[in-house]
Amino acid sequence: MDRILIRGGRPLTGRLAIGGAKNAALPLMAAGLLTEERLVLENIPELADIDTMASLLLEAGLTLERQGRRCAIGGRITRTEAPYDIVRRMRASVLVLGPLLARCGEARVSLPGGCAIGTRPVDLHLKGLAQMGADIRLEGGYIDARVAGRLHGAEIVLPFPSVGATENLLMAATLAEGETIIANAAREPEIGDLAACLNAMGAEISGIGSDRLTITGVARLHGATHAILPDRIETGTYLCAVGVSGGEILLEGGQATHLAALIRALGEAGVMVEETAAGLFARRMGKLVGVDVMTEPYPGFPTDMQAQFMALMAVAEGAAMITETIFENRFMHVPELNRMGARINVHGASAIVRGVGGALSGAPVMATDLRASVSLVLAGLAARGETIVNRVYHLDRGYEALVEKLTGCGAAIERLKG
Ligand code: UD1
């Protein structure tokens, strides 16, 4: 298995390009199941998770023409099953459920398994679809969903603003009969991107960007061309990277709009971020100080930035309290950061980070999820000596050309094969 070797202690300077948002690209690809016509997506990142979603669409009988960052999805659905072998690689596979059911009246999707960052059930997806008239059974590890004729509109109140449930129900509602309301909907920008594309395909969605989406179902959707928004989590990760290692970088194509909570915390910690015509410019200003943050649904501080911000706090001066409210078990990076000399204690949903006010020390480390893995890369950038990050496949799921992008900004980082 490949590993990443980092020799720490070099400030980052230079520029790198931000790719399209993984978490927008995945539901947008699933939306290709909603029409017979061609859906052309631009600015698709090259990532393992994108390949997994592509496999699911191919499995359903669709054709995909990928040319660099462009992907044209089309063809007829010949199979309505998402097999375990593919779904187990990525929880977001469940996003094909709503579109398949709405379009074909049936879908058989493997239940995503347990996950390193908590139990992560899909009950809200299933309850919403049942309210829209679906008959749902769980059998042999599969979700078996059926509806006679079309799904119908419903007023769905989500008890928690789940991102995936909002997306699945939104896609299903576009082809349902009548009006669907999704109240307490998640407001993540990736949902707005999905809704904008669905409207370009002929859907009638209003309330985009709010926590109340109203969808008037239509009989069919048509093709469209849509450019995916820039990845705010990739952007935020590199903002934390420059904070950890010092220096200054320009993130081409990066946008501040969807990162307000992170940029505010970074400013308090001592990392200046400025939006320029060329992208987001960031510079570490002198000493770093501890700042408390709590993860929340958008527009709060993103859970997907929690581990990277913790790596930053580990090298700051003073204490920071980091509270995780979205996932129940998302502190797996803590023992690994501590092996590198960080001083972090977890109690329940909060971690107290006593910043060491200087460099950590390099060590072999590994992590069990994507954002935790990248937080160890950041810690390695700021550490004395060598850090080896094992289980690189997590990084390949969500960070395009991570090694190349960081090398281009002066980091001493390489991928070791085998
Ligand atoms: C999406 C993102 C992920 C991000 C997360 C929260 C994608 C592909 N992934 O994941 O990167 O960390 O949003 O911002 O966009 N829950 C239930 N029942 C459900 C659904 C969710 O209890 O039916 C719970 C989950 O266990 C979790 C919380 O709700 O504790 C948040 O999950 P959700 O917002 O659904 O996240 P995902 O869509 O899985």
DSSP 281-345: EEEE-S--B---EEB-STTSB-GGGHHHHHHHHHHSEEEEEEE--S-TT--THHHHHHHTT--EE
pLDDT, tens only, 53-72: 999 999 999 999 999 999 99
Residue of the CA atom closest to atom 14 of ligand 1 = 303
| Atom number in ligand 1 closest to CA 163 | 34
Classify residue 258 by its DSSP letter.
G
For ligand 1, the distance from its centroid to the CA atom of residue 165, given in whole angstroms, is 8
- What's the token pair of residue 301? 């501080």
Residue of the CA atom closest to atom 32 of ligand 1 = 162
Buried b / exposed e across 145-178, counting CB within 10 Å, b at 16+? bbbeebbbbbebebeebbbbbbbbbbbbbbbbee
| Atom number in ligand 1 closest to CA 167 | 38
- What's the token pair of residue 339? 């092996």
Which residues surround ligand 1 with Cβ inside 6 Å? 23, 26, 91-92, 118, 120-125, 160, 162-165, 186, 303-304, 326-327
Tell me how far CA of residue 364 lies from CA of 5, 374, 387, 391, in angstroms.
9, 14, 6, 11
Confidence at residue 329, expressed as pLDDT on a 0 to 100 scale: 82
Mean pLDDT by 10 residues, the chain (418 residues): 94 97 98 98 96 97 96 97 94 97 97 63 95 95 95 98 98 98 98 98 98 98 98 98 97 97 98 96 96 98 98 98 94 96 97 96 92 96 95 91 97 94
For ligand 1, the distance from its centroid to the CA atom of residue 160, given in whole angstroms, is 10
Q: Indicate which residue of 115, 197, 240, 409 is catalytic.
A: 115
- What's the token pair of residue 131? 């309210």
E strand intervals along 102-222: 106-110, 135-139, 142-146, 155-157, 179-183, 204-206, 212-216
The distance between the two most distant Cα atoms of the chain, rounded to a whole number of Å, is 64
Q: Please list, in sequence order, all residues whose beta carbon lies within 8 angstroms of the beta carbon of residue 233, skipping any fewer than 6 positions away.
A: 21, 22, 23, 302, 304, 305, 371, 398
Taking only Cα atoms into account, the Rg of the chain, rounded to an integer number of angstroms, comes to 21
Confidence at residue 300, expressed as pLDDT on a 0 to 100 scale: 98
Residue of the CA atom closest to atom 22 of ligand 1 = 121
Confidence at residue 118, expressed as pLDDT on a 0 to 100 scale: 55
| Atom number in ligand 1 closest to CA 27 | 8
Told to judge if 115 belongs to the known catalytic residues of this protein, a careful annotator would answer: yes
Give yes or no for a contact between 57 and 90, defined as CB atoms under 8 angstroms apart.
no
For ligand 1, the distance from its centroid to the CA atom of residue 355, given in whole angstroms, is 30
| Atom number in ligand 1 closest to CA 188 | 14
Confidence at residue 1, expressed as pLDDT on a 0 to 100 scale: 85
Confidence at residue 116, expressed as pLDDT on a 0 to 100 scale: 54
